[in-house]
Amino acid sequence: MAKKIKHLGMEMTEEEHQKWHNGHREMTPSQHKALMNKMGISEEEDKKWHETHNVSHQAESNSGRKSVNPFAIGGGFLDYCIKQGWLIQESKGRRAKYYATKEGEKELRKFSIKV
């Protein structure tokens, strides 16, 4: 099965991602802005993603090591905390909110996270 890329609620394979970029090189800044607005992505979020995306490719090619996306680590940690019963998730996607349980407040302190 092909590796999936997840970005702000979208999911696609590496191949689909490359095809999309190859087919959308002509997108003007106004078209890009309209697409981001339609997807509900703010200019700040888009800029941050592109900065992270570009830096990760540079780090891979410069050092031979693969960089780590901190947002993926954070998302994975949230999932872990939910499975442990430390957090309760309300809603999904960009509207998601997380609430710590009593046990979660105690356990998260071990990670220097004060709720």
- Give percent of the chain with pLDDT exceeding 70: 69
The tokens for 20 are: 């999309």
23 and 56 housed in the same domain: yes
Q: How many domains does the chain have?
A: 2
Q: How far apart are CA 102 and CA 87, in angstroms?
A: 9
Mean pLDDT value of segment 106-115: 92
Asked whether residue 115 is assigned to any structural domain, the reply reads no
56 and 77 housed in the same domain: no
Would the pLDDT of 66 be above 70? yes
Exposure string of 70-90, with b = 16+ CB inside 10 Å and e = fewer, is: eeeeeeeeeeebeeeebbeee
Q: In which domain, by residue range, is 92 found?
A: 70-109
Asked whether residue 114 is assigned to any structural domain, the reply reads no
51 and 14 housed in the same domain: yes
33 and 83 housed in the same domain: no
Q: Which of 39-48, 57-66, 92-101 has the lowest mean pLDDT?
A: 57-66
Asked whether residue 57 is assigned to any structural domain, the reply reads yes
What DSSP state is assigned to residue 10?
Answer: E
Asked whether residue 37 is assigned to any structural domain, the reply reads yes
